[in-house]
Amino acid sequence: MPQIKSSNIASVDWAEGVGLTVVFRRGGEYVYPAVDETTFNDLLASNSPGAYFAQHVKDRYDFRKVG
């Protein structure tokens, strides 16, 4: 999983058929199956991945906790 510079998110990953996986620094790993690769790449490229996640993913996509 790519490491990103974020105070809240430890790492993110994306895979076809899986979607976006997010590991939070304070614990918890979540999968957002409907997030597309473009959104993942935009999150990686953003100046604030945590803010991007909060604005574009959180509360907009269904998720499941996996860890």
The residue ranges of the chain whose pLDDT is under 70 are 1, 3
pLDDT of the residue at 67: 75
Q: pLDDT tens digits, residue range 20-38?
A: 999 999 999 999 999 999 9
SS3 23: strand
What is the reported pTM? 0.92
End-to-end CA distance of the chain: 15
Helices 37-45 and 49-56 cross at an angle (nearest 10°) of 140
